[in-house]
Structure 1
Amino acid sequence: MNKTSKAIALIGLVSASSAFAMDLEFNNVDLDSDGAISMEEAAQYPELMQQFKDLDSNKDGQLSEQEFAAAQ
């Protein structure tokens, strides 16, 4: 794959990640209102689960509001 194809693929991936995040509200996913989205809470949203490990920047197994917002 050449550099142009890789760049186009990366742009598509970033756009797809942003699209799912804009459709979800942090507070609606954080069902127990503890200020974090657990993997169990995220499991209801396949698009979020696909990105969960990448979004979990501190690798604590949950998404803070800031980590979640970074996907938007």
Structure 2
Amino acid sequence: MIEKRGGTCIPVQCDHSKDSDVEELFDRISKEQDGRLDVLVNNAFNTAQGLKENMGQPFWEQPITMWDAVNNVGLR
């Protein structure tokens, strides 16, 4: 759809848990696109250890380490 309307779609894989990957992505945008980023689809998810074991528990009863692992990637 983007290309049909004259745009350019550039899919990029980036590990959001690695600061160096995120920095490299924005360096690339700066160099290749003159710093222009019109749309970013952040499709990141981390399956935290313990997710299956804690399934069905209220979120407030689940280990904070699980939520840190998920949110430090998905919401970053």
TM-score by length of 1: 0.27
TM-score normalised by structure 2 residue count: 0.26
Structure number with higher helix proportion: 1
Higher strand proportion:
1
